[in-house]
Amino acid sequence: MFPTLVIAALLAIQVSAGSNKHLGKFARVVTPEVASNTTYNFVIAGGGIGGLTVADRLTEDPSITVLVIEYGPIDKGEPYVLVPGEWVPVFYWWNGITSVPQVHLNNAVYPVLMGQCVGGGSTVNAMFLHRCPAVDYDGWAALGNPGWDWDSLLPYFKKSENFTAPNPVFAQQSNITYQNSVHGFKGPVHASYSPYTYPGSGHWWEAAKAVGIPESIDPNNGNDTGLFTLLRALDPDTETRSYAKTAHYDRVSFRPNYHLLTETAVSRITFTGKTATGVQYIPVGTTQVYNVTARNEVILAAGAVHSPQILQLSGVGPKALLQSLGIPVVLDLPGVGTNFQDQLNMPVTYNFTSNVFPTADDVQNNATFFAEQLALYNSAHLGALTLTAQTGNNVVSLSLKETTTNWAALIALAASQDPASLLPPGSDPTVIAGYAAQRQQILELYASYDSAIGSISWNTGATTSVYMVKPLSRGSIKVNSTSIFDNPLVDFGAFTDPTDIELVLALVRKNRQIMAQPTMQQLGPLELTPGAALTTDDQIKTAIIAQIVPSIAHECCTLPMLPLDHGGVVDPNRLVYGLKNLRVVDVSAWPFTPGSAPSATLYAAGEKLADIIKIANGIPVIPLSTYE
């Protein structure tokens, strides 16, 4: 997730990633020469959540060698990486990449946010660590993916995390409830609650209850609709970020069979016939091309924008696109780079006449307050800086039926669309068939009380984020040159399905309902954007088109796990169709975006995929019961 203020700042910022080669403290950060002189069992393209989770588990076996190649550097533990209240680490994300003009958003272009460092998105993200609704994963399974339903994933969610319960007095004051039975206590990623709540947040909690939103028992139990306090990827002893680098790299730094090559781009996968044999890589800022051999598998983990880019550059993708750039075709696979999705954020801002001091805005704007909180954080690991900057602590996650009484008409509107006409002209029939199947599945979820279409979070200051998390629109990723160093064309496809804007409108109206409750009215809110004066549907929709941001950095689904005749790119074991020894372990393999933030699911999926890969390669699997 990704609150509103950051986005405004981003549109202005252009930072070049640090160019100094920063070798980590670990011997197994290797040079390009050492990597190319070594034959590995597995070579992983991308050192984000998926890549590092799998690398960690595969190298548990000392006889298995793994090389992770990561485009970005290793962070240096800067406060803006580690201290929640000093977020955002702009130096560790991709800068200068924007979308193509969004035709349904007045042709505006938007930044495309992703991590570019060891840890990937987990190094730069807002630390919300939330599982998605059980029925959403069950929807993935129903599309032809046995093993990806909630019941199958739950043991891996547990394996991935080390949950620390909140202090009981604080939990009572803050209305935090949780179920130990759904959590894990031995895993690498810390899951804990920030020990601070802004004093005004209770007003919002009561207002949400007053409109009938139930309090969630534990949003990570497979049922995330309702009102709850955020769980975060946060080390409870230090109140610092817990992320893929600390959890799946630093923690196992003694393993000589785990190599990491940083500031290096994987430029191509190499094939002998249809078998992946390794990759080519180029240290960033150079033109020198190296080869490395993967004896067992090449594993793609470069994220939803770059994994399809690498595949297309390697000659795997829609034939016409590859041929238009003169890329030799290894396999015509129409789904590569289709089905692109993100979640959207409609910021709603206020002027309060009598808000309660302090708020999340005071961390940003009041230097005296910040200094006080920094001292408290440094001395006792308490206070407002334990919360990710600009965010509050409470969220409501809403099904369509809880959002609007008009739900049946919206489902009918969606059902009346012709899927083919919503995709670009000339889309492959298999891709259209897969989209149609997905839509049917998603419409069932729209009708369920247990599947979220949106979430709302007030940051206790001027801003409420209204997230629409279950879009029907689809975009695409397409290479625009034969160089890995040129950005691909990123099209969010925002609002190509007319249902999506109606869902945002319903969520904006729901937010107004919450704000209209007595406990919020006590604070004297005046809606500035879209603006209290806008009352008709048409007025609000015009404002949505001008103000919505089509991404909250939850890009996904561009190499979808779907049947081949449904535009799929990978099978349920995440092997690429039609090729040998090539697997995908990142967010690009999701069929559709489930209704919450991605990282918790990616850690769990990484754990599951490591077991799948071990079994496929005859490597002993450590029983799941060891982690219970």
Ligand X SMILES: *[C@@H]1O[C@H](CO)[C@@H](O)[C@H](O)[C@H]1NC(C)=O
Ligand Y SMILES: Cc1cc2nc3c(=O)[nH]c(=O)nc-3n(C[C@H](O)[C@H](O)[C@H](O)COP(=O)(O)OP(=O)(O)OC[C@H]3O[C@@H](n4cnc5c(N)ncnc54)[C@H](O)[C@@H]3O)c2cc1C
Q: Which stretch binds ligand Y (CB under 6 A): 69-77, 152-160, 400-408, 612-620?
A: 69-77
Between 573 and 580, CB nearer to ligand X: 580
d(CA 576, CA 585): 11
Binding partner selected for residue 332 from ligand Y, ligand X, none, CB under the kind-specific 5 to 8 Å limit? none
29 binds ligand Y (CB under 6 A): no
Between 277 and 496, CB nearer to ligand X: 277
- Establish whether 34 is an annotated binding residue: no
Binding partner selected for residue 249 from ligand Y, ligand X, none, CB under the kind-specific 5 to 8 Å limit? none
Binding partner selected for residue 443 from ligand X, ligand Y, none, CB under the kind-specific 5 to 8 Å limit? none
Contact residues: ligand X, CB under 6 A: 33-34, 37, 162, 164, 174-175, 186, 197, 201-202, 205-206, 209, 214, 223, 226, 236-237, 270, 280, 289, 291, 351, 353, 357, 366, 368-369, 372, 449-450, 480-481, 487, 489, 526, 528
219 binds ligand Y (CB under 6 A): no
Of residues 336, 251, 160, 270, the one with CA closest to residue 582: 270
CA-to-CA dists, residue 517 to 206, 208, 324, 396, 510, angstroms: 8, 8, 57, 15, 11
d(CA 501, CA 468): 9
Between 201 and 430, CB nearer to ligand X: 201
Of residues 517, 597, 460, the one with CA closest to residue 2: 597
d(CA 371, CA 377): 10
SS (H, E, C) 362-421: HHHHCHHHHHHHHHHHHHHCCCHHHCCCCCCCEEEEECHHHHCCCHHHHHHHHHCCCHHH
Q: Are 122 and 48 in contact (CB under 8 A)?
A: yes
Residue partners of 37: CB distance under 8 A and separation at least 6: none
Question: Closest separation between CB of residue 488 and ligand Y, Å?
Answer: 10
CA-to-CA dists, residue 492 to 101, 258, 475, 545, angstroms: 9, 36, 5, 14
Between 188 and 598, CB nearer to ligand X: 188
The single residue among 55, 126, 321, 462 that binds ligand Y, judged by CB under 6 A, is: 126
Question: Closest separation between CB of residue 524 and ligand Y, Å?
Answer: 30
**Is residue 322 classed exposed, middle or buried when 0-12, 13-18 and 19+ CB atoms within 10 A define those classes?**
buried
Q: Which stretch binds ligand Y (CB under 6 A): 68-76, 138-146, 182-190, 506-514?
A: 68-76
116 binds ligand Y (CB under 6 A): yes
Residue partners of 78: CB distance under 8 A and separation at least 6: 89, 91
Q: Are 105 and 92 in contact (CB under 8 A)?
A: no
Give the total of residues touching ligand Y (CB under 6 A): 42
Q: How many CB atoms lie within 10 A of CB 359?
A: 25
Question: Closest separation between CB of residue 571 and ligand X, Å?
Answer: 26
Between 33 and 418, CB nearer to ligand X: 33
192 binds ligand Y (CB under 6 A): no
Query: Which two three-digit tokens encode residue 48?
Result: 């984000």
The single residue among 2, 205, 340, 446 that binds ligand Y, judged by CB under 6 A, is: 2
Query: Which two three-digit tokens encode residue 103?
Result: 């035709």
Question: Closest separation between CB of residue 546 and ligand Y, Å?
Answer: 23
Alpha helices in 148-288 (DSSP H): 150-160, 168-174, 201-210, 244-248
Q: Which stretch binds ligand Y (CB under 6 A): 120-128, 351-359, 441-449, 516-524?
A: 120-128
Binding residues are 266
Binding residues for FAD are 266
Kindly list the residues in this chain that would bind ligand Y in the complex (CB under 6 A).
1-2, 45-50, 69-72, 93, 113-117, 120-122, 124-128, 265-266, 301-303, 306, 310, 484, 553-554, 586-587, 597-599, 602
